[in-house]
């Protein structure tokens, strides 16, 4: 039996609500499957912590979660704390501090969920976005009042950083994922017509890496055209690899097409064994619906599936995903995807599908 230590960071708003539900599913699974046990260490970091202590996480925060097997993360963001403080102080601090260089964001069309995509074979569509997760447009390098001109005339510079190694590892990972799929195809997204340094480097690395994967079909698109392609020709998407900012935007588009931000899972992966990876839904803390018990838990529960798969429990991960599909098919949906069920009711249904699976074995 494997034993896992999870660092749990619920964060703010609906983050706390959905993390609880995800842990209920993992807990249920650990008891029924008998293949693993786990313990959770909770870290109360986030915006409330910031308002009280002046920092989003403890100074030795990374040190304290470095040896956990995985990090399970809710969401951060609070109306009275500037978003760049909450984002850089916690989520990006972890992604960059632990060199989680690939952010994997699958887009799936769940049965029984209307979504916003008009397509004849929606239920067959699924693709995965591979987001560069440590550099690019989110390098954090820049400055305010750059030319020393002061109020009203201020100049701010925000630099993007692309390293050849950084591009290569995430692009290579996209090809490795493509090799595991029925249709082996990788689409690279840049804006290399306008951004002629970093993005051109990316394009060159993409071409070079693609030669190592002769079985994989490739194409390359500019991000604006790709946004349209998501809507017009989603059947052409398999593995899509893009820079930090572009993939961030495209993944919200993908999840909206599939129905809601609330159903999109993600994994921030560190693959070189030195640090834990982090699993979280794509959405934020949703202050507009926080505290009402109506947040969609599927994105966070799906992220637990990605976490278990990462920990070597593929069968358990598949079970969670099947249970999610069975639940939406039954019409047990939260308001964001057109239903009236509560966060808890959706999770209960997912858990009961998992139970019935085991009862039938
Ligand atoms: P958001 O994702 O929190 O919400 C956008 C919209 O989607 C809202 O209308 C919300 O109600 C809805 N929504 C999101 N998740 C949902 C769910 N699980 N179920 C039902 N509806 C859901 O994005 P925002 O409003 O732009 O940002 C709110 C805060 O979250 C900000 O402080 C922002 O910085 C932060 N944020 C954090 C993360 C993160 O922690 N990874 C990501 C994005 C935004
Ligand atoms: Mn985002």
Say what percent of the chain tops pLDDT 70.
99
pLDDT the model gives residue 146:
84
Burial degree of 277 (CB within 10 A; 0-12, 13-18, 19+) = buried
Which of 284, 287, 333 to mutate to test ligand 1, by most ligand atoms within 8 A of the CB atom?
Answer: 284
For tokens 């572009």, name the residue: 246
pLDDT the model gives residue 127:
97
Bridge partner list, 11: 75
Confidence of residue 262 (pLDDT cuts 50, 70, 90): very high
Nearest CA to ligand 1 atom 25: 286
323 close to 350: Cβ distance less than 8 angstroms: yes
Mean pLDDT (the chain) is 96
- ipTM surpasses 0.95: yes
What would the mean pLDDT of 254-262 be, rounded to a whole number?
Answer: 95
pLDDT the model gives residue 166:
97
For tokens 């978003």, name the residue: 83
74 phi/psi in degrees, rounded to 5 = -85, -95
For the chain, the three-class secondary structure string (H helix, E strand, C coil) is CEEEEEEEEEECCHHHHHHHHHHHHHHHHHHHHCCEEEEEEECCCCHHHHHHHCCCCCCCHHHHHCCCCEEEEEECCECCECHHHHHHHHHHHHHHHCCCCEEEEEEECCCCCCCCCCCCCHHHCEEEEEEECCCEEEEEEEECCCCCCCCCCCCCEEEEECCHHHHHHHHHHHHHHHHCCCCCEEEEEECCCCCCCHHHHHHHHHHHHHCCCCCCEEEEEEHHHHHHHHHHCHHHCCEEEECHHHHHHHHHHHHHHHCCHHHCEEEEECCCCCCCEEEEECCCCCCCCCCCCCCCCHHHHHHHHHHHHHCCCHHHHHHHHHHHHHHHHCCCCCHHHCCCCCHHHHHHHHHHHHHHHHHHC
Query: Does position 141 have pLDDT exceeding 90, yes or no?
Result: yes
Q: Pairing state of beta strands 265-269 and 277-281? A: antiparallel
| CATH 3.40.718.10 residue spans of the chain | 1-106+261-361, 116-142+152-258
Confidence of residue 142 (pLDDT cuts 50, 70, 90): very high
Say what percent of the chain tops pLDDT 90.
92
263 close to 298: Cβ distance less than 8 angstroms: yes
Class of domain 116-142+152-258: alpha beta
pLDDT the model gives residue 145:
87
Nearest CA to ligand 1 atom 44: 284
pLDDT the model gives residue 149:
86
The answer to whether the CB of 291 is under 6 A from ligand 1 is: no
Nearest CA to ligand 1 atom 1: 284
Instruction: Collect all residues with Cβ–Cβ distance below 8 Å to 292 and sequence separation of at least 6.
Output: none
Q: How far is the CA of 336 from the centre of ligand 2 (A)?
A: 18
The answer to whether the CB of 261 is under 6 A from ligand 1 is: yes
CATH code of the region 1-106+261-361: 3.40.718.10
More confident residue, 115 or 327: 327
The answer to whether the CB of 105 is under 6 A from ligand 1 is: no
pLDDT the model gives residue 273:
87
What would the mean pLDDT of 304-316 be, rounded to a whole number?
Answer: 97
Query: Does position 251 have pLDDT exceeding 70, yes or no?
Result: yes
Q: How far is the CA of 359 from the centre of ligand 2 (A)?
A: 39
207 close to 175: Cβ distance less than 8 angstroms: no
What would the mean pLDDT of 235-240 be, rounded to a whole number?
Answer: 98
The answer to whether the CB of 283 is under 6 A from ligand 1 is: yes
The answer to whether the CB of 19 is under 6 A from ligand 1 is: no
Q: Give 95-127 pLDDT, tens digit per residue.
A: 999 999 999 999 999 999 988 898 988 888 999
Which of 77, 85, 92 to mutate to test ligand 1, by most ligand atoms within 8 A of the CB atom?
Answer: 77
Q: Would the CA dihedral through 324, 297, 127, 239 be positive or negative?
A: negative
Q: Give 288-309 pLDDT, tens digit per residue.
A: 999 999 999 999 999 999 999 9
Confidence of residue 172 (pLDDT cuts 50, 70, 90): very high
pLDDT the model gives residue 360:
59
Q: Which ligand is nearest to the Cα of residue 87, counting in written order?
A: 1
CB burial readout 128-143, b (16+ within 10 A) else e: bbbbbbbbbbbbeeee
């Amino acid at each position: 039996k494997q034993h896992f230590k999870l660092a749990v960071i619920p964060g703010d708003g609906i983050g706390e609500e959905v993390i609880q539900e995800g842990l209920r599913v993992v807990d249920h699974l650990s008891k029924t499957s008998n293949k693993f046990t786990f313990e959770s260490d909770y870290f109360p970091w986030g915006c409330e912590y910031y308002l009280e202590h002046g920092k989003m996480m403890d100074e030795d925060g990374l040190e304290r979660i470095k040896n956990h097997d995985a990090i399970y993360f809710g969401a951060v963001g609070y109306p009275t704390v500037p978003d760049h403080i909450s984002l850089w102080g916690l989520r990006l601090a972890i992604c960059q501090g632990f060199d989680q260089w690939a952010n994997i964001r699958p887009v799936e069309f769940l049965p029984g969920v209307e979504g916003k995509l008009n397509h004849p074979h929606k239920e067959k569509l699924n693709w995965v976005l591979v987001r560069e997760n440590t550099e690019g447009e989110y390098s954090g390098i820049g400055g305010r009042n750059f030319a020393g001109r002061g109020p009203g005339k201020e100049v701010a510079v925000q630099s993007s950083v692309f390293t050849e190694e950084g591009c290569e590892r995430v692009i290579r990972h996209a090809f490795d994922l493509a090799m595991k799929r029925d249709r082996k195809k990788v689409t690279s997204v840049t804006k290399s017509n306008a951004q002629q340094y970093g993005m051109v480097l990316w394009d060159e690395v993409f071409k070079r890496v693609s030669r190592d994967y002769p079985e994989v079909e490739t194409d390359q698109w500019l991000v604006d055209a790709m946004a349209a392609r998501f809507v017009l020709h989603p059947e052409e998407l398999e593995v899509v690899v893009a820079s930090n900012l572009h993939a961030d935007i495209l993944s919200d588009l993908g999840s909206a097409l599939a129905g809601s931000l609330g159903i999109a899972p993600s994994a921030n992966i560190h693959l070189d064994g030195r640090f834990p990876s982090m699993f979280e839904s794509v959405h934020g803390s949703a202050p507009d619906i926080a505290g009402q018990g109506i947040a969609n838990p599927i994105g966070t529960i799906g992220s637990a599936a990605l976490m278990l798969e990462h920990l070597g429990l593929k069968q358990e991960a598949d079970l969670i995903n099947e249970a999610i599909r069975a639940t939406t098919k039954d019409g047990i949906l939260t308001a964001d995807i057109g239903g009236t069920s509560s966060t808890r009711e959706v999770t209960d249904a997912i858990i009961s599908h998992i139970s019935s699976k085991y009862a039938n074995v």
